[in-house]
Amino acid sequence: MTAIFTYVEDDTAFICADARRAIHVLSSIATKVHHRWSEYILLAQTGAGEPMTELLCEMTVWRDRQPGLVTFQGLVDVFNHLRPKHYAAATNRLKIAVNGIVVAACASDGQTPAQIVTFDFATGNQTVVGSSGSAYADGTDQVAFQQIADNELRQFKTAGALELDGWAIACLSQAVASYPANVGWPADLAIVRPYPTPVRLTVLRRIYSPIEGLHSVFAL
The most distant pair of C-alpha atoms in the chain lies apart, rounded to whole Å, by 51
Of 160 and 30, more confident:
160
Asked whether 106 and 130 are in contact (CB, 8 A), the reply is no
Residue 93 has a pLDDT of 83
Map out the domains of the chain with their CATH numbers: 3-218 (3.60.20.10)
**Residue with the larger pLDDT of the pair 52 and 129:** 129
Tell me which of 136 and 159 has the higher pLDDT: 136
Whether the predicted model's global pTM rises above the 0.85 cut: yes
Contact between 36 and 202 under an 8 Å Cβ cutoff? The reply is: yes
Q: Is the pLDDT of residue 82 over 90?
A: yes
Segment 78-100 mean pLDDT: 90
pLDDT confidence tier of residue 47, bands split at 50, 70 and 90: confident
Average pLDDT of the chain to the nearest whole number: 91
What average pLDDT score do residues 135-158 get? Answer: 96
State the pLDDT at residue 25. 42
Cα 205 to Cα 16, 47, 165, 168: the distances in Å are 9, 22, 10, 12
CA 15-69-36 angle, 5° bins: 20
Going by pLDDT thresholds of 50, 70 and 90, the confidence category of residue 135 is very high
Across the range 91-115, mean pLDDT stands at 90
- DSSP string covering 31-83: -SS-EE-SSSEEEEEEESHHHHHHHHHHHHHHHHH-GGGGSHHHHHHHHHHHH
Residue 1, pLDDT > 80, answer no
Euclidean distance between CA atoms 218 and 164, whole angstroms: 5
Query: What is the arithmetic mean of pLDDT over 202-219?
Result: 94
